C-alpha cells in the first residue's frame, strides 16, 4: 500500500529524510527509492505528492471514478502522469496531510497577545482569556484544514494527519514578536489538543512527533532543528533527523492500517 | 377655543394611529437631545438592549466597549462569550437594582457573600453565569476574570456621555444575607437553589425608581454632563414566580417599568425615553413584531423599531440587515431571534409544564 503525502513546508524534512536514507546517511530510517518522489519503507510505499499549502484545498480532490481519485488541478495531473504514468491514484490509497491544522502560527503571532493572555499568564495589565475562548479561536483557524479532511471523507478516501514538530526555542513568536515561551507553549499545546480531538471525533489518526524529540520544557530539541545554510534563519522546521523519526512512524501507521 | 384645536395630528389617536399602518407611525418619538457620532455611548440592560447597542455600533456611532473581544475570536463566537453585547462583559442586567450593584461591585463598595457557584468541576460567576458557557476551570481563574471585568466596568462611566439602559424585569432573585440580585434564578443556568439563602423579589414602582435615581446620581458624580436614554424591553416574562398568571404578571411588570420611565423622563431633562416597548407590544401593532411564540421580537420588528429611533435622530442610514444575521443562527438556535440576542432567562421556558 502506498500512502500519498501532502502538506505544508513541514513535508520537506520528511522528503529529505527519505532521500538521506536512500543515500545511506540516515540513522533511524531504512527507505528505498521506488521512483522519483516514491519511496518504500518495508512493504509500505510513501509518495510525496508535492501538493503544498497553496494547492492543498478541498477542491483539488475532484472525484472518485471507477476506483480512482481524480484531481482538478491540471498541472498536478500532468506532473503525476510524468512521475507515475497515471493521472489518477487508487481511491483506496490513504492520504497523509502534514501539519495542516495542528499548529496555528497565525494565532501564535497575533498582535492580540500584547493586550490579552491565557488566564494563568494574565499579569501586568493583560486581559485574561479562558482556554475555552482560545479553543474557539483555534477552531476557527482550523476550519480550512478541516474542510480538506471533510472533502476526502465525502469521496471515501482514507486519510490520516501528520503533526508538525514541537515549537522551536527560537520560534518567531518569541524572537520577533517578543512573546513569552510560556505563551507559545500554552497555545501550541491547546492547538494540538483541539486538533487531536477533532480528528479523533472523526476516527482519523494523528501521527504525532515522538516525545523524545522535545526537551523538558516542550521545545524541539536542538539536534532536530533544521538549519539553513543561506538566507533567513529557519526558526520553525525540523531537520532530516526529525523527518526520519516521522517517516518511520508514518510507514508504521500505514502498514498497521493496511496489513 | 380650547387646547385641542391647535394640536398636531400626532396628538390624535385617529390620525396618528388608527388611520396609519402600524409599522409606519410618524413622530412617535421626538428626541429630547441630540446624539451625534462623537457622543460616547454606553449600553446595559435586558437582552433587548443588545439590539440598540449593535445598531449604534453598526451605524458608526462611538459605542464604548471596555472589554472588546480578542481579534482572533471569530465574530460568530462573540455572543457566546459575552463580547460585544454591551459596553462591558456584564451580560444582561435585567433590573435597576442589579445595575446599581454591578457598578457598586466595580468600585469595591459591594462584595457579594455568594462569590461563586460550582458543580464540583467548573466554577461559575453568579453575576455573569453565561459569560463563559462552560464556566471557569478553578476559583482562582474565576477571580482573575471577575477582577479584570470589574476593573473595566469601573472605568466605563468616566468614558460615557450617554448611558442607554433598557429596563427588563421587575421580578428577580436575591441573596437573603446581603440582598445581592442574581441575573438568573440560582439553579436555572447554573448554581443551586436554596430557599434558606435565596428569595424572590418583585420590585415595586418606588424601588425601581429609587434604584435608578441612585444610579443616575452615581453616574453623574463621575460625569456631571451624563445623559440617559431609557427604554422598556417589549419581551414578556418567560416565566413568573409571582404566583400570578404570566400574562397579568408581565403587564404588571412592564407597566411598573414604563411608569418609572415616565417619572424619570418628567423629572430629569437629561433623561430621554424611547418607546420601543410601545412600538412592539402595544395593541395597534397587533403583535406583528413578534415571532409566533408571541415573546421573541422578530427581525423585522427590531428593524422597524431601530429605524424609528435613528430616523428621529436624523440618521436615515441603512439599517443593519438583521435578517441575514437571523438566518445564520436560525437552524441551531431557534429561540434566538433578530440578530442573535442572548437572553439568559429563556432557560426558564425549559421548566414550563
Closest CA to B183 of B353, B347, B2: B347
Side by side, the strands of the sheet bearing B62-63 are: B62-63, B40-45, B162-167, B227-232, B271-273
Which residues of chain A have a Cβ shorter than 8 Å from any chain B Cβ? 106-107, 110-112, 116, 119-120, 122, 127-133, 136-137, 140-141
**Nearest CB partner across the interface for B71, out of A110, A122, A132:** A110
B70 interface with A at CB cutoff 8 Å: yes
Contact A132 B133 (CB under 8 A): yes
The backbone torsions φ and ψ at residue A121, rounded to the nearest 5 degrees and listed phi first, read -110, 5
Length of chain A: 259
Given a contact cutoff of 8 angstroms between Cβ atoms, the answer to whether B235 and B48 are in contact is yes
- Closest CA in chain B for residue A106: B72
Question: What sign has the CA pseudo-torsion A47, A48, A52, A55?
Answer: negative
- Contacting residues of B for A127, CB less than 8 Å apart: 67, 148
State residue B156's pLDDT score. Answer: 98
Give the residue from B72, B76, B88, B148 with the most A CB atoms within 10 Å of its CB, the best one to mutate: B72
Interface of B with A in 270-299 (CB under 8 A): none
- More confident site: B135 or A83: B135
* Beta bridge partners of residue A98, listed in sequence order: A7, A162
- Closest CA in chain B for residue A115: B70
- More confident site: A220 or B352: A220
* Beta bridge partners of residue B174, listed in sequence order: B181, B199
**Nearest CB partner across the interface for A137, out of B70, B132, B148:** B70
- Contacting residues of B for A135, CB less than 8 Å apart: none
Given a contact cutoff of 8 angstroms between Cβ atoms, the answer to whether A11 and A48 are in contact is yes
- Closest CA in chain B for residue A122: B144
Give the residue from A112, A121, A124, A128 with the most B CB atoms within 10 Å of its CB, the best one to mutate: A128
A119 min Cα distance to partner chain B (Å)? 6
How many whole angstroms separate alpha carbon A193 and alpha carbon A178? 24
- Contacting residues of B for A194, CB less than 8 Å apart: none
Q: Measure Cα distances from B33 to B231, B252, B305, B313 in Å.
A: 15, 30, 18, 9
Contact B145 A112 (CB under 8 A): no
Given a contact cutoff of 8 angstroms between Cβ atoms, the answer to whether B322 and B303 are in contact is yes
**Nearest CB partner across the interface for A130, out of B71, B77, B136:** B136
- More confident site: A258 or A62: A62
B77 interface with A at CB cutoff 8 Å: yes
- Closest CA in chain B for residue A129: B145
Provide the 3-class DSSP secondary structure of residue A101.
coil
B74 interface with A at CB cutoff 8 Å: yes
How many whole angstroms separate alpha carbon B137 and alpha carbon A132? 10
B138 min Cα distance to partner chain A (Å)? 11
B78 interface with A at CB cutoff 8 Å: no
State residue A258's pLDDT score. Answer: 80
Contact A140 B72 (CB under 8 A): yes
State residue A78's pLDDT score. Answer: 87
**Nearest CB partner across the interface for A112, out of B72, B77, B148:** B72
Query: How many CB contacts within 8 angstroms connect chain A with chain B?
Result: 54
**Nearest CB partner across the interface for A129, out of B70, B74, B137:** B70
- Contacting residues of B for A116, CB less than 8 Å apart: 70
Contact B132 A107 (CB under 8 A): no
Closest CA to B79 of B91, B66, B87, B62: B91
State residue B194's pLDDT score. Answer: 96
* Beta bridge partners of residue A35, listed in sequence order: A38
Contact B73 A140 (CB under 8 A): yes
- Contacting residues of B for A111, CB less than 8 Å apart: 71
Q: Give tens-digit pLDDT for A167-183.
A: 999 999 999 999 999 99
Q: What percent of chain A has pLDDT over 70?
A: 100
State residue A230's pLDDT score. Answer: 84
Contact B74 A119 (CB under 8 A): no
pLDDT tens for the 353 residues of chain B, in order: 899 999 999 999 999 999 988 877 878 999 999 999 999 999 999 988 898 888 899 899 999 999 999 999 999 999 999 999 999 999 999 999 999 999 999 999 999 999 999 999 999 999 999 999 999 999 999 999 999 999 999 999 999 999 999 999 999 999 999 999 999 999 998 999 999 999 999 999 999 999 999 999 999 999 999 999 999 999 999 999 999 999 999 999 999 999 999 999 999 999 999 999 999 999 999 999 999 999 989 988 888 899 999 999 998 766 554 444 333 333 333 333 334 566 666 666 666 66
Amino acid at each position: 500500500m502506498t500512502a500519498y503525502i501532502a502538506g505544508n513546508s513541514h513535508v520537506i524534512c520528511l522528503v529529505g529524510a527519505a532521500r538521506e536514507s536512500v543515500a545511506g546517511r540516515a540513522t533511524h530510517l531504512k527507505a528505498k527509492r521506488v521512483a522519483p518522489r516514491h519511496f518504500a519503507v518495508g512493504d509500505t510505499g510513501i509518495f510525496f505528492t508535492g501538493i503544498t499549502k497553496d494547492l492543498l484545498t478541498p477542491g483539488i480532490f475532484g472525484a472518485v471514478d471507477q476506483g480512482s481519485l481524480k484531481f482538478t488541478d491540471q498541472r498536478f495531473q500532468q506532473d503525476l502522469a510524468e512521475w507515475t504514468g497515471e493521472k489518477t491514484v487508487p481511491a483506496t490509497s490513504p492520504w497523509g496531510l502534514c501539519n495542516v491544522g495542528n499548529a496555528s502560527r497565525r494565532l501564535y503571532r497575533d498582535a492580540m497577545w500584547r493586550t490579552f493572555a491565557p488566564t494563568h499568564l494574565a499579569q501586568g495589565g493583560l486581559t485574561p482569556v479562558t482556554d475555552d475562548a482560545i479553543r474557539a479561536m483555534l477552531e476557527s483557524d482550523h476550519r480550512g484544514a478541516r474542510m480538506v479532511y471533510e472533502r476526502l471523507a465525502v469521496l471515501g478516501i482514507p486519510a490520516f494527519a501528520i503533526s508538525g514538530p514541537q515549537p522551536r526555542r527560537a520560534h518567531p513568536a518569541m524572537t520577533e514578536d517578543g512573546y513569552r515561551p510560556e505563551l507559545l507553549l500554552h497555545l501550541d499545546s491547546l492547538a494540538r489538543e483541539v486538533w487531536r480531538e477533532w480528528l479523533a471525533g472523526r476516527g482519523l489518526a494523528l501521527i504525532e512527533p515522538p516525545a523524545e524529540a522535545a526537551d523538558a520544557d516542550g521545545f524541539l530539541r536542538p539536534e532536530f532543528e533544521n538549519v539553513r545554510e543561506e538566507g533567513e534563519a529557519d526558526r520553525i522546521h525540523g531537520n532530516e533527523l526529525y523527518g526520519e523519526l516521522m517517516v518511520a512512524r508514518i510507514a508504521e501507521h500505514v502498514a498497521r492500517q493496511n496489513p | 377655543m380650547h387646547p385641542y384645536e391647535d394640536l398636531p395630528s400626532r396628538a390624535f389617536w385617529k390620525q396618528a394611529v388608527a388611520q396609519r399602518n402600524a409599522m409606519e407611525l410618524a413622530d412617535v418619538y421626538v428626541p429630547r437631545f441630540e446624539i451625534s457620532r462623537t457622543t460616547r455611548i454606553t449600553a446595559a440592560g435586558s437582552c433587548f438592549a443588545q439590539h440598540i447597542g449593535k445598531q449604534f455600533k453598526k451605524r458608526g456611532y462611538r459605542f464604548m466597549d471596555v472589554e472588546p473581544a480578542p481579534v482572533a475570536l471569530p465574530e460568530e463566537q462573540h455572543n457566546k462569550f459575552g463580547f460585544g453585547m454591551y459596553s462591558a462583559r456584564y451580560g444582561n442586567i435585567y433590573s435597576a437594582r442589579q445595575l446599581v450593584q454591578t457598578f457598586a461591585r466595580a468600585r469595591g463598595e459591594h462584595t457579594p457573600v455568594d462569590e461563586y457557584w460550582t458543580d464540583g468541576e467548573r466554577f461559575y460567576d453568579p453575576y455573569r453565569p453565561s459569560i463563559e458557557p462552560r464556566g471557569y476551570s478553578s476559583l482562582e481563574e474565576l477571580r482573575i476574570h471577575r477582577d479584570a471585568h470589574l476593573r473595566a466596568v469601573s472605568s466605563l462611566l468616566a468614558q460615557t456621555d450617554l448611558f442607554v439602559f433598557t429596563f427588563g424585569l421587575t421580578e428577580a432573585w436575591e441573596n437573603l444575607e446581603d440582598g445581592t440580585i442574581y441575573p438568573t434564578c440560582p439553579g436555572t443556568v447554573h448554581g443551586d437553589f436554596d430557599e434558606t439563602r435565596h428569595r424572590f423579589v418583585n420590585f415595586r414602582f418606588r424601588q425601581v425608581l429609587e434604584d435608578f435615581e441612585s444610579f443616575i446620581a452615581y453616574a453623574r458624580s463621575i460625569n456631571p454632563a451624563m445623559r440617559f436614554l431609557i427604554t422598556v424591553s417589549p419581551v414578556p416574562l418567560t416565566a413568573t414566580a409571582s404566583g400570578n398568571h404570566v400574562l397579568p404578571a408581565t403587564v404588571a411588570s412592564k407597566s411598573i417599568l414604563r411608569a418609572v420611565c415616565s417619572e424619570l423622563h418628567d423629572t430629569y431633562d437629561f433623561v430621554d425615553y424611547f418607546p420601543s416597548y410601545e412600538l412592539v407590544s402595544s395593541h395597534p401593532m397587533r403583535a406583528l413584531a413578534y415571532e409566533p411564540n408571541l415573546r421573541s421580537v422578530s427581525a423585522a420588528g427590531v428593524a422597524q423599531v431601530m429605524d424609528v429611533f435613528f430616523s428621529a435622530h436624523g440618521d436615515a442610514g441603512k439599517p443593519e440587515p438583521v435578517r441575514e444575521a437571523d438566518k445564520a443562527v436560525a437552524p441551531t438556535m431557534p429561540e434566538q431571534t433578530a440578530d442573535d440576542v442572548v437572553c439568559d432567562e429563556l432557560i426558564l421556558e425549559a421548566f414550563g409544564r
